[in-house]
Structures are given as structure tokens and as C-alpha cells.
Amino acid sequence: MKIFLIWIQLVAIFLTIAPALAASDAHLKGKFGPLHDWPIIPIAMMLMPDGRIFAYGTDTEGDQGAKLHYVIWNPLIGIGANAFKTLPNTTNTDIFCGAQAFIPGSGHALIIGGDATVAGERNYGNNQVNIFNSDVDALVRQSKNMVYKRWYGTAVTLANGEHAILGGRSNRYWVGPSTYSSIPEVRAKNGNWRSLSSARSDIAYGEYGGDSWFYPRAWLNPQGNLFILSHNGMMHKLNTSGTGTLTKYATKTSNSDFTMPSVMFAPGRILSLRKNRAAVIVNINGGGEPVVTSAGLLTKNRQHSNATVLANGQVWVNGGSTTDNTLAGKVLTSELWNPVTNKWTTTASAATARLYHSASILLPDGSVLTGGGGAEGPLTQLNGEIYYPPYLFKKDGSGEFEFRPEIIDAPTSMIGWAEDFSIQADETIAKVTLVRAGAVTHSFNSETRFFNLPILRRSTIVTVRSPATANIAPPGVYLLFVWNEEGIPSIARMIELG
């Protein structure tokens, strides 16, 4: 009788717990944290070497313009107002819709161009250069301007630590032939500018190519040239030496537009969202013509979505709308692409729409900050939501966070390329991954790239080899994650390649 009563009690306890256990699919779909306020719309986000986010884009009312303020968010403090610092922009440059990249060595943010107001009218370009120094939280105007004004340009960190900048507009739409900045430039480490005057193109980064001036999708390729994937599917190679040489590839992929993200998810391999829900992989490893293969279909056409390479090399796409920058077709669900299976999975739903001027960025704890949207658009999104991917959760359906391995020892000084280094953790390390710190705006993270660093044998101390060359892994700061045998990542250590 006593045993029977205990059995009844156990059944009762199980019935109470079971619905709770089954209630969460966070280990399969991930989960969004609470919607939280931001002091500005974070149109542009960059992960600084100390793990904080530098963001800019609007004033504190959410109106267009970054001449007044920029914001620093410290994820370690949380999502309350005390985690944000709103600082005055004293440079007299409106960095709204500028180009951004990291400066190798310091990890500081290079912000190039942005907006200008001429005779009371916005949306002209400027040619000014600013550097955000995260050691002292200061945005500092540089003395050497670009030759060309650029609004919506792209900056690419080169293997030698210089930066190439391409695209953007000089003037408002209707001003005439000088509207587009179709000659790229290279910024030397000393701040001097060199025009790539032989590589002028209205197709690769100008008026045509599907508005290819609009944040050109460009990456350093494994051969050390820039690979440029135009919104309309055309492809070019830009050799940045001397006055520049631009070569058009015969290969073309399907049409897209400037609202769709593309991201380098593995060395020399880019996942690109195209029109009609399609995704493709563009492989630029061969050195010859790029090779395009299908990456299947998403559930929705996601204009103004963001694609983020997660700590495990999967690509997570969130936000967007099937109806451009309007709420009618807003997509709250997110989707996760697995490069091993080449399959998409529908993941968690956000609380609110992320449309034009929204952004997403991987954080050192393996979660993703999503935020912004608006200026202009139907919502003024002075807010963000953090997405926690499936790998952070216990697999029992409890929806609880899993205990994480911890890195005890990793390099604190700069590492070279093809260099062996050791990592120690508090439990057996089953996998090591490396993700370049991100810089994202307008559905394009121009800095991020992912590496799997093979280990010979599982142990608490493993030796891995850094990426082979600076073309494959440009100099700068990377997030180093170790994974335990249950597939749970550590919080990343920031390491520097150089």
C-alpha cells in the first residue's frame, strides 16, 4: 500500500513536470530574450576587442543622423539602461550610413564617409574619416579625407592591414553623373589615400549592377583580391595594387537586391540570399571562376533581413519582410542554415519586426544581438532582442541554459598565420572554432568569417593551428570558442591575428 502511494505520488509529480519539460523547444529553435530599449536605433553595429558593441545611426529620438551621438553597449552588464553609454559625437561628421571596418593592431573602428546635409537637404555623401578608439571611448576625426565622398560605401580590411573602400554615393539621387563614387580607394596604414583610378566601374560599385553602389558585397578572397558580388548577380575581381585592376567573371548568379544579406560562412565560401526565397553558395576558393551551388529555399523572401554566422558555423537569418520596408509582409520567425546538411530549419520568433536599418551581430557568449529598424520605416525601433541559439540550451526540453565549458588558458599575445597554439579548458575540448569580430549594417556583415580549427585528439588541453594566410583570415580580432563533448560552446576569448 505504501509503495502504491509512493507510485501514485511519482505519477502525480511526473504529470506536473511533464508539460513543463515538453514546453520548450529552445534546444531546437533557440529563443529570444526580452525586448529591451536602446538609446538610438543601432543601424550599424561593431564588436570591439573588449566585447562591447559600438553602435550608431540615429539621434536619441530615432531620427536619421549620427552627427550627435554614438552608443556603446556592454553585454556583460545586461540590457538595462546602465549597460549603455550614449556619448556625444564631436567630430562634426554625420556617420549615418558610413562604411566600417576594423583597424588591425588596435581593433579600433574605422568609419569612412557617411551623410552630409547640403542646403538643408540630407543624403549627400561626405569624404571624412573617423576612428572610434574603444580604449578611451572616443570618436576622433582624422586629418586625411578620402578623395571621393561616400554614403553607403563598403570598407574591406586587406591582408596587409590597409583598407579598400568601394561604392557609395557622392550626391543625392538626382544630381547627375557625379552621383556615384565609382572609383575605389585604398587607405594606407598611415592614413594616406590612393585612388584605384584604373578600376572605375559603374557596374561593380556604381549606378548599375542592381544599385551596386549600395553597400557593395565585397570580401578579400583567398588569393588576396577583392571579390565583389553585385546585387544583380554579376561578379568581379578587384586587384587593389597600383591604380587597381577590375576583372569581370563570366559566372553570374540569380538576381537579388540590396536588401538581402550575404555572408562568408567558411573560408572562401559565401552564403547569399537571392530573390524568390532562394539561397546560393558562392565558392571563390579555386582562384578561377566562382562556383555557384544551390543552398535551397528559405520559407520566406526576406528583404532587409540579416544573416549571422554563429559560433558553430551555421548561418542564422532573422527579420525582414516579404513586402520591402513595410509591415504587411513582416517575418517574425527566423531560419537557421546548416552548411553540413545544406538544410534550413525554422527557428524562434522575434517579438517585433526588423526591417530597413536593422542589424544583427554575434556576441562573445555565442548569442546574437538583433536590433534597430526605422529611419525610415513603419517602426522606430529604439530597441533590441537577443537571440540565444539552440547550442546554448539543455537538450531535455526544459528550456534552461546548459552549463558551459570554460577556457582556462588561451593566447593573450598576437598569433601569426599557420601558427600552432594551445588552449586549455575546464573539461574535454571536442571542437575549436574561430569567428572574426563582426561589423554589420544594411544587411551586410563585411568583416565576419568563420573557421573550424581541427584538433588531433580530444583533451582538456588541445593544440590548434591558426588559419593559413592573411588572405583567408585578415589581421584583426577573432572570437575563439571551445566546445565540450555535449556540443556546448564556451564564452569566447578574443584573440588577435597579426
Nearest residue to Cu ion, using CB? Answer: 97
Interface stretch with Cu ion, choices 16-24, 89-97, 105-113, 362-370 (CB under 5 A): 89-97
Nearer to Cu ion by Cβ, of 306 and 347: the residue is 306
In terms of CB distance, is 97 or 350 closer to Cu ion?
A: 97
Judged by CB under 5 A, which stretch of 95-103, 173-181, 296-304, 447-455 contacts Cu ion?
95-103
Q: Which is nearer to Cu ion, 168 or 405 (CB)?
A: 168
Q: In this complex, which beta carbon is closest to Cu ion, that of residue 57 or of residue 184? A: 57
Query: C-beta of 64: minimal distance to Cu ion in Å?
Result: 8
Q: How far is the CB of 151 from Cu ion (least distance, A)?
A: 8
Binder among 97, 226, 229, 282 for Cu ion (CB under 5 A): 97
Burial class (CB in 10 A: 0-12, 13-18, 19+), 424: middle
Measured between alpha carbons, how far is 354 from 365 in angstroms, rounded to an integer?
A: 22
Residue 357 CB, nearest approach to Cu ion (Å):
6
- Choose the binding region for Cu ion from 93-101, 359-367, 388-396, 465-473 (rule: CB under 5 A): 93-101
**223 vs 139: CA distance, rounded Å:** 34
Residue 356 to residue 372: CA distance in whole angstroms: 8
Least Å distance, CB 485 to Cu ion, is 44
Q: Based on CB atoms, which residue is closest to Cu ion, 43 or 494?
A: 43
Nearest distance, CB of residue 102 and Cu ion, angstroms: 20
- Provide the β-strand partners of residue 200: none
Q: Which is nearer to Cu ion, 56 or 391 (CB)?
A: 56
Vertex 484: Cα angle to 439 and 21 (nearest 5): 95
Say how many residues touch Cu ion, by CB under 5 A: 1
Does residue 45 interact with Cu ion by CB under 5 A? no
Say if residues 357 and 43 touch (Cβ distance below 8 Å): yes
Q: How far is the CB of 371 from Cu ion (least distance, A)?
A: 15
Q: How far apart are CA 286 and CA 227, in angstroms?
A: 12
Minimum Å gap between C-beta 97 and Cu ion is: 4
User: Which grid cell is 202?
Assistant: 559603374
Report the residue number, 94 or 335, with the smaller CB distance to Cu ion: 94
* Least distance CB 72 / Cu ion (angstroms): 21
Counting Cβ atoms within 10 Å, is residue 243 exposed (0-12), middle (13-18) or buried (19+)? middle
CB 429 within 8 A of CB 482: yes
The whole-angstrom separation of Cα 47 and Cα 317 is 19
Under the binding rule (CB under 5 A), the answer on residue 492 touching Cu ion is no
Confirm if 95 and 114 have CB atoms less than 8 A apart. yes
Kindly tell me the sign of the dihedral angle through the C-alpha atoms of 426, 427, 432, 434. negative
Closest CA to 38 of 348, 273, 379: 379
Binding residues (CB under 5 A) for Cu ion: these are 97
